[in-house]
Amino acid sequence: MNIILMAIPFFFLLIIIELVLDKVRHTQYYRVNDSINSLTAGVLSRVTGIARRVIPFSMYALCFDYLSLTVLPDTPWIWAMAFVLYDFCYYWFHRLHHEVNVLWASHVVHHSSEEYNLTTALRQTSSGLVGWIFYLPMAVIGVPVHILVAVGALNLIYQFWVHTQHVPKLGWYEWIFVTPSNHRVHHAQNQLYIDRNYGGVFILWDRLFGTFQEEQEDEKPIYGIRKALHSWNPLWANVHVYTQLLQDCRHAQRWQDKFLVWFKPTGWRPTDVEKNYPLAKVDLNQFKKFDVNLSINSKVYCSLQHILTLVIAVMFLLNVGSMTEWQKWGTMAFIVFSSYSIGSILENREFAVVLEWLKNILVCMALVMISVPSWLAVILWVATLSSMLLLWDLWQTRRGKLTATAHTQ
């Protein structure tokens, strides 16, 4: 039973409620492009997780079989203990993913949004492979695999609701648990707030290890990362820090620096690289959110395409166990391609419309060639044909602008 998959409808229900609050209160915590980018990153994370999760589960099971001192019984007290211990391990997993260059490269996607709402919670990495190392103490003391997986899922589900600006401080609850207030601090890039509040469920670990920071009324959080992403491409969001580290590794003159650049504290660069290839300094006093002007049709089209991709992804996750290998990899490739293509539309890339025509034609071909449930076929046909009508309008509009520009010149 996949607890996280079962929670997805409730996630979207809460997102809809928050969207209504956003409209009623005129808070403008949501932007179409940012929200689609966050949700798409979440889809990519879950889909690629099918391939990635083999390693952590296998390694934990292996350590449990050969290193465990005992096998803990399946009782409520053991579950409660495992839940708390998991969050303790998560604290160190999370903290080091902020403090070590190569680990930050994996985690950064979650922090790259310059908004803070419930869609941000779903903005997860597609490249994490070493997280299992932090939970090995649980294998050694004998926590069975099925309990680890379950408490890990519950820990992640708890973290969803704290990604909101609509909930104020919660009194005594702030002292023990992670809340929207103290997690807003975690997502801020203000000097006062940066690299604070790492707990997943319990904020006690931060209070104990000196990483706690309370949200201040006179210091409004500025969300995002110091080296801003400036892109709606979810693939680039997952690899942009790796790319920077690779460049620094290549440019470094000393061999030890080529190695150290991966494992030094986040932001560290070799002296010669810093001098010869300086990066722009961040001035938060002049902070401006990344944005690309989009027409209403573009926003509607991207929203419809994201829903289409989401439906395909959910059906993939529900049926992956009964699919052939080529069906698995083919569907995963389509979801990755769709995610990139939607991001290209959001960025107004010149080639984006061509990619979208190709994608919609592929969906039509798949519906003709592959047998799917009737209700799903109807949804996909309606969504795809509606998308193609919108895409035609976008294409015509773009052609008109190019023609007008040519005549002007």
Residues 3-31 have pLDDT tens digits of 888 899 999 999 999 999 999 999 999 99
The pLDDT of residue 152 is 94
The pLDDT of residue 334 is 95
pLDDT band per the 50, 70, 90 thresholds, residue 406: low
Identity of residue 350: E
Residues 68-121 have pLDDT tens digits of 999 999 999 999 999 999 999 999 999 999 999 999 999 999 999 999 999 999
CA distance 73 to 100: 36
| Residues 142 and 70: beta-carbon distance below 8 Å | yes
Residues 358-382 have pLDDT tens digits of 999 999 999 998 888 898 899 999 9
Residues 331-352 have pLDDT tens digits of 999 999 999 999 999 999 989 9
pLDDT band per the 50, 70, 90 thresholds, residue 400: low
Q: What is the mean pLDDT of residues 151-161?
A: 96
Helices 234-251 and 325-346: angle between axes, nearest 10 degrees: 90
Output the pTM of the full model: 0.92
Cβ-proximal residues to 156 (8 Å cutoff; 6+ apart), any chain: 4, 200
